[in-house]
Amino acid sequence: MPDISSLPTPALFGILIVGIILLIAAGDFLVRGAAALARKFGIPALIVGLTIVAFGTSAPELVVSVQAVLAGASELAIGNVIGSNIANVLLVLGLPALIMAIPTDTPGVTRNAMVAIIAAIIMIILISVHSPMMRWQGAILFAGIIAYLYWMFGLAKSGSNDPALKEIAEIDDMGGMPAHVPMCVVFIVGGIIGLAVGGNLIVSSGTEIAKTFAVPDEVIGLTLVAIGTSLPELATVIVAAWRRETDVAIGNVLGSNIFNIFAVLGAAALTGPVVIPTELLHLDVWIMLAASVALLFMIIRRKPIGRTVGIVFFGSYVIYIGYIARNMLHIGA
């Protein structure tokens, strides 16, 4: 990890932003290169979608969390997972709902919402029984993502019309795919290098920002890093709302939240001990669960997430971030 401790605060924030941009772009490069290469070797689109695409779209959160654990800043990793899941519901769904109502009656949404809540409950139980999280806890979580993907594969084979499943399983219409094997390799290698560098920049700058403002690493994970790694989902849903194609919006959010808990946090805990700050266990995980339950309530009612709910969701997120910011100022003082 580069020594950036002597840099001024604006430079640290600049490095963090560059790291987030690089991480998102590299993850996209890796997905497109690996998916194109796999298809050239005759691997079915369903298999590619449920492995390469599924894990690749979670690569930013995965890389940041694993590198944070390796750097001894595991609090940033758990903060990133919890903060991203909160942002996915309250920000990623709340903000676009101000543009256009997001339907909640698409096939498979209720099922995935229940899985997301079950994943959150399993996580809460695991981090409550033992802290720091150890490899056996990580193994349980990672087994969850394997079981989930196996289940999704079975649903796809049976002809499920789940729009979220269709989006992740069908890659034939994905644009920007490299056409030749050498270019696929360039995409893959470039993506891997970019993910490593971007993750390194985020972790190093994030921990230095935490030191500068005398706040815990998890606060940076809950806010700056969580929002940054949630930007792809936010952009996707906003564009979908603008184009009046919001059928897959909730599917994107729920899939991301499931992967964050099972795959990202699972991989982080398999890498090394993940310290669970008391504040996260007493407050933030419950906000994450409450947001998921509120979303499930909307889905069960089959009512679209309209402007009023969007204001409530987005306003709740602003209040949540404001509460964290107030605590940051209090701690820094």
Q: How many domains does the chain have?
A: 1
Asked if the structure places residue 217 within a domain, the reply is yes
pLDDT(1) > 70: no
pLDDT at 330 over 70: no
pLDDT of 132 higher than 80: yes
pLDDT computed for residue 165 by the predictor? 57
pLDDT of residue 91: 92
Distance CA 171, CA 38 (A): 11
Return the pLDDT at 225: 85
Kindly state whether residue 268 falls inside one of the protein's structural domains: yes
- More confident of the two residues 329 and 322: 322
Q: Mention every residue, 6+ apart, whose C-beta is less than 8 A from residue 86.
A: 222, 226, 284, 287, 288, 291, 317, 320
* Backbone phi, psi, residue 133, to 5°: -65, 135
Q: Does 3 reside within a domain?
A: no
* Residue 262 contacts residue 123 (beta carbons within 8 Å): no
DSSP assignment of 219-266: HHIIIIIHHHHHHHHHHHHHHHHHTT--TTHHHHHHHHHHHIIIIIIH
Is the pLDDT score of 57 beyond 80?
A: no
Question: For 268-285, how does the pLDDT look when each residue is reduced to its tens digit (9 = 90+)?
Answer: 999 999 999 988 999 999
Question: Which CATH number characterizes residue 138's domain?
Answer: 1.20.1420.30
Provide the CA 224 distance to its chain's centre, in angstroms: 13
Look at residue 4 and tell me if it is in a domain: no
Q: How confident is the model at residue 171 (pLDDT cuts 50, 70, 90)?
A: low
- Whole-number pLDDT of residue 216: 82
What's the mean pLDDT in 20-32? 81
Q: What is the pLDDT of residue 234?
A: 79
- pLDDT (0 to 100) of residue 53: 61
Rounded-to-10 torsion of CA 19, 20, 22, 26: 130
What is the per-residue pLDDT across 172-207, written as a single tens digit (0 to 9) for each?
A: 556 667 778 888 888 888 888 888 888 888 888 888
pLDDT of 319: 94
41 backbone dihedrals φ, ψ, rounded to 5°: -90, 10
Question: How many C-beta atoms lie closer than 10 Å to residue 215's C-beta?
Answer: 20
Q: What would the mean pLDDT of 141-158 be, rounded to a whole number? A: 84
Which range, 20-29, 69-78, 281-290, has the best average confidence (pLDDT)? 281-290
Q: Considering the chain, what percentage of its residues have pLDDT values greater than 70?
A: 83
Q: What is the mean pLDDT of residues 85-93?
A: 92
Q: What is the pLDDT of residues 198-256, one digit of tens each?
A: 888 888 888 888 888 788 888 888 888 888 888 777 777 777 667 666 666 777 788 88
Average pLDDT of the residues in 143-164? 76
Give the model's pLDDT for residue 327: 74
Average pLDDT value over all residues in the chain: 82
Within 13 Å, how many C-alpha atoms sit on residue 46's CB side?
A: 12
**What DSSP assignment string belongs to 133-169?**
B-HHHHHHHHHHHHHHHHHHHHHHHTT---HHHHHHH
Expressed as residue numbers, the domain containing 302 is: 9-332
The answer as to whether 1 is a domain residue is no
Residue 48: is its pLDDT beyond 70?
no
Higher pLDDT, residue 106 or 202:
202
Examine residue 285 and state whether it is found in any structural domain, yes or no: yes
Per-residue pLDDT averaged across 70-84, rounded?
90
